[in-house]
Amino acid sequence: MIEKYLLPEPDGLPTRPSQDYVLYKLKALSTYLKIAITAVGKKWPEIFYIDLQAGPGKNDVGNSVVLGSPLIALTTEKHPTQFRFNELDPELKNALDQRISASPLKDRVKSYQADVNEVIIQICDEIRERDRLARVNRQPSVLNIAFLDPEGLELHWVTVEQLASMNRMDLIINFSTQGIIRNIGAGNFEVVNRFFGTDQWREIDKPGSSPVARRRVLIDFYRQRLEKFGYHIKIDPELGGDEIAISNSKNSQIYSLIFASKHPIADKFWKEATKNVKQPRLLGF
């Protein structure tokens, strides 16, 4: 089945059962990579794609199999030059490795099986060292694109901070609105504190306000915390940022995909990438 490992088809290896709303984030990711790398690829000798919760590489959605984020990055036509994947679950990591073995780019991949909040140290050390060498050789630093796709709140703010402190790190983050509301409701404030890197979210969160207003405030708070690392965070007072908000069939907000870059041109690419992949508005939303 190796000939099917990189195709959106069953190949005998484990897949990740998923709801159809994953399609929006995957489409946003693939379109962003295409637009951004086509536009700036020549300017950057090294483009790292970093996927810290990569899954097995394929998702089962209804009756079809779709490529997951790591295989999207690996098979996109204008591709990054280096790939760093991580997946905690050994079975899923093994499936991902087998699929990667079918890629002509396999020598550019390093894959890890670790907790997202631990693996980050060695990945950032590697990028820092590449950037140091680039400075010595008077070359551009590494352009990094990180796709952070947690299931809930397991991605700690200190991890995002480590990524954000790299010279050039564009961030696409699956912001689990559902996970936040659920953990706040259950009184798991320590979990929420680790996610935001502070307990100050308590000063701005209004549990009685509408889900849309509540989400807005929490996302803006999270994004604004990136500003001190040089991120270009523009927040329209009426509309907020350019994130995509995804709900399930019961109109409950599941996640928002948020984007942050230190360069305004990347915001333009993201806007372009997401303009056609926003979920149609559900009734009453």
Ligand X SMILES: C[S@@+](CC[C@H](N)C(=O)[O-])C[C@H]1O[C@@H](n2cnc3c(N)ncnc32)[C@H](O)[C@@H]1O
Q: Which of 176, 151, 152, 179 is nearest to 16 (CA)?
A: 151
**Which of 28, 50, 109, 116 contacts ligand X by CB under 6 A?**
116
Q: How many residues bind ligand X (CB under 6 A)?
A: 18
**53 or 76: whose CB is closer to ligand X?**
53
- 3-state class (DSSP) for residue 1: coil
**Which of 31, 35, 37, 68 contacts ligand X by CB under 6 A?**
68
Answer yes or no: are the C-beta atoms of 35 and 273 closer than 8 Å: yes
**93 or 130: whose CB is closer to ligand X?**
93
Answer yes or no: are the C-beta atoms of 33 and 147 closer than 8 Å: no
String of contacts with ligand X for each residue 22-41, x by CB under 6 A? ----x---------------
Q: Least distance (Å) from ligand X to the CB of residue 111?
A: 12
Check binding of 53 to ligand X (CB under 6 A).
yes
Stretch that binds ligand X, among 34-42, 53-61, 191-199, 248-256 (CB under 6 A): 53-61
Answer yes or no: are the C-beta atoms of 78 and 191 closer than 8 Å: no
Q: At what angle do helices 189-196 and 157-164 cross, to 10 degrees?
A: 0
**Beta strand residue intervals within the chain, DSSP E:** 16-18, 47-51, 58-61, 64-67, 82-86, 109-112, 143-148, 169-175, 244-247, 253-260
**Which of 16, 182, 262, 268 contacts ligand X by CB under 6 A?**
16
Check binding of 60 to ligand X (CB under 6 A).
no
Helix or strand run (H / E) with residue 117: helix 116-136
Stretch that binds ligand X, among 4-12, 83-91, 219-227, 252-260 (CB under 6 A): 83-91
Check binding of 14 to ligand X (CB under 6 A).
no
Check binding of 169 to ligand X (CB under 6 A).
no
Q: Least distance (Å) from ligand X to the CB of residue 99?
A: 12
**68 or 240: whose CB is closer to ligand X?**
68
Return left, alpha or beta for 193; rule: phi > 0 is left, psi -120 to 50 is alpha, else beta.
Answer: alpha
**Which of 11, 49, 55, 111 contacts ligand X by CB under 6 A?**
55
Contacts of 134 (CB under 8 A, 6+ apart): 46, 140, 141, 142
Q: Least distance (Å) from ligand X to the CB of residue 127?
A: 18
Check binding of 54 to ligand X (CB under 6 A).
yes
Contacts of 138 (CB under 8 A, 6+ apart): none
Give residues 137-166 in contact with ligand X (rule: CB under 6 A). Answer: 149, 151, 154
Give residues 86-105 in contact with ligand X (rule: CB under 6 A). Answer: 86-89, 92
**112 or 270: whose CB is closer to ligand X?**
112
Q: Which of 234, 245, 230 is nearest to 282 (CA)?
A: 245
Q: Least distance (Å) from ligand X to the CB of residue 154?
A: 4
Stretch that binds ligand X, among 5-13, 85-93, 178-186, 210-218 (CB under 6 A): 85-93
Instruction: Supply φ then ψ for residue 23, to 5 degrees.
Output: -60, -30
Q: Which residues bind ligand X (CB under 6 A)?
A: 16, 26, 53-55, 59, 68-69, 86-89, 92, 115-116, 149, 151, 154
